[in-house]
């Protein structure tokens, strides 16, 4: 009999050590090392791996490899298809993460029903809900269909057996933290169980050509729980985001082997479930006030889609020794950097002013093209001068106060023209080489001072 080996595995990052330590050397977390007895692999898993390897192709010259277009299955959610790069690819393994109660299970149940209505056999495996609970939710959403099979099981060996018997076209695992393998001695949800279960599911997806969707819990920091290796193993990683007090949900791709990353799909949570939002710019701007200082519209790119959102700033004299800087939906450090540029290059005395910034609608902006809009919002609130309601501002700001070029300027301005904006303030380096949309005055600026003079009139 093979000798069992003992090792200690960090439950936060997956770091392995031959002895116990109080602080993980990799992630610096305390008391996360858990003892793990590594049993020898069973014959079932060895046979499975051998069969999978036997089906692999022999080495070929890259010039001799024949390629074709991936077969994609479309769902009724255009936003879901967009995030996946054009549809569900056969044999793909997709990981979906998000905060508790954000709507991950609801979205996948709706997607499963849509696929089942198109003569696809869908197996929905839940380790958290019973079959009765799943049917109650399906009845509430009005998505009952005979081709949707539900299974309440946590043992992956039984799940694999049912997959072998019924040969489904799609599989949903909700969630990976509840699934376990009996061969692995650690508890469900541990680093070892999550890693081994995902590895088995990946082999099933690739060898049988079945698309598998995996739901992953997130930590308090917002990252998917389990080892970082989990995100490297799957084909696509989607994050389902949103504020608890907002009805809008954002599905964002951070990894996709079959499409572009940073794609974004927007849904609205209603009584009948999730409803896709096909024109998010109108949603984010529908409650925008007019004639109020500190409000600016920016054209941001989310993947290949331009989205117009409102940036709001409130600048007021501080009541404490140190001025406060708070930001929601935008990086706090970026706000501090832009305020330093405004104070040094433009001459605005902001060191004794509290500054509060917010992206309306719960959206998160992380691209440099929003810099100029942030600067305009801060200056507008500080000087108490409202911006024009038909202006859209785009541009990156350098530390010397210059406005630098941004990517995809043509799509940004066209989206602004579609929604009725009359003037676009963009970097001067982006002028030329493309045709301006009819009805929009495009103005190029070289510095922050020039942009503020045009937008705020002095």
Residues annotated within the binding site for ATP are: 98-105
Annotated binding site: 98-105
Helix (H) or strand (E) segment spanning residue 209: none
Q: Assign 9 to helix, strand or coil.
A: strand
d(CA 374, CA 395): 10
d(CA 42, CA 73): 36
Residue (of 444, 273, 285) closest to 359 by Cα position: 285
Cβ atoms < 10 Å from Cβ of 172? 27
Contact 323, 353 (CB under 8 A): yes
For residue 267, give both structure tokens: 């849904």
DSSP 376-436: HHHHHHHHT-PPPTTEEE--EE-TTSBEEP-S-HHHHHHHHHHTT--EEEEEGGG-SSSPP
Residue (of 423, 416, 365, 371) closest to 395 by Cα position: 371
150 CB burial (10 A radius; 0-12, 13-18, 19+): buried
Contact 285, 311 (CB under 8 A): no
């Amino acid at each position: 009999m093979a000798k069992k080996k003992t090792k200690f595995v960090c439950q936060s990052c997956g770091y392995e050590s031959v002895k116990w330590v109080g602080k993980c050397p990799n992630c610096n977390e305390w008391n996360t090392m858990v003892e793990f007895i590594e049993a020898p692999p069973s014959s079932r898993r060895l046979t499975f791996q051998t069969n999978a390897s036997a089906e692999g192709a022999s080495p070929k010259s890259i010039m001799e490899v024949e390629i074709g277009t991936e077969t994609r299955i479309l769902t009724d959610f255009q936003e879901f298809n967009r995030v996946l790069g054009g549809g569900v690819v056969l044999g793909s393994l997709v990981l979906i993460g998000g905060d508790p109660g954000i709507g991950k299970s609801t979205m996948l149940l709706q997607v499963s029903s849509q696929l089942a209505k198109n003569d696809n056999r869908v197996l929905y495996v839940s380790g958290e809900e019973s079959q009765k609970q799943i049917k109650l939710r399906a009845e509430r959403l009005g998505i009952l269909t005979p081709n949707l099979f539900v299974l309440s099981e946590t043992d992956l060996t039984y799940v694999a057996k049912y997959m072998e018997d019924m040969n489904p076209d799609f599989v949903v695992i909700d969630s990976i933290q509840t699934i376990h393998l009996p061969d692995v001695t650690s508890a469900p949800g541990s680093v070892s169980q999550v890693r081994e279960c995902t590895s088995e599911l990946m082999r099933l997806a690739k060898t049988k050509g079945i698309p598998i969707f995996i739901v992953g819990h997130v930590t308090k920091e917002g990252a998917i729980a389990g080892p970082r290796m989990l995100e490297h193993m799957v084909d696509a990683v989607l994050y389902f985001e949103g504020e608890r007090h907002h009805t809008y949900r954002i599905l964002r791709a951070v990894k996709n082997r079959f499409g572009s990353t940073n794609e974004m799909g927007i849904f609205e949570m209603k009584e009948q479930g999730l409803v896709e939002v096909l024109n998010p710019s109108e949603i984010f701007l529908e409650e925008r006030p007019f004639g109020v200082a500190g409000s600016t519209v920016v054209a941001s790119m989310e993947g290949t889609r331009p989205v117009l959102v409102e940036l709001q700033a409130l600048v007021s004299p501080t009541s404490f020794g140190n001025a406060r800087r708070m930001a929601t939906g935008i990086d706090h450090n970026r706000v501090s950097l832009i305020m330093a540029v405004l104070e040094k290059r433009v001459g605005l005395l902001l060191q004794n002013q509290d500054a509060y910034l917010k992206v309306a609608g719960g959206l998160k902006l992380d691209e440099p093209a929003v810099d100029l809009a942030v600067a305009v919002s801060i200056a507008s609130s500080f000087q108490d001068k409202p911006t024009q309601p038909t202006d859209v501002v785009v541009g990156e700001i350098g530390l010397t106060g210059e406005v630098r070029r941004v990517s995809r300027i043509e799509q940004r301005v066209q989206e602004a023209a579609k929604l009725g904006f009359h003037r676009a303030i963009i970097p001067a380096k982006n002028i030329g080489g493309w045709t301006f949309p009819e009805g929009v005055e495009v103005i190029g600026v070289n510095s922050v001072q020039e942009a503020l003079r045009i937008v705020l009139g002095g």
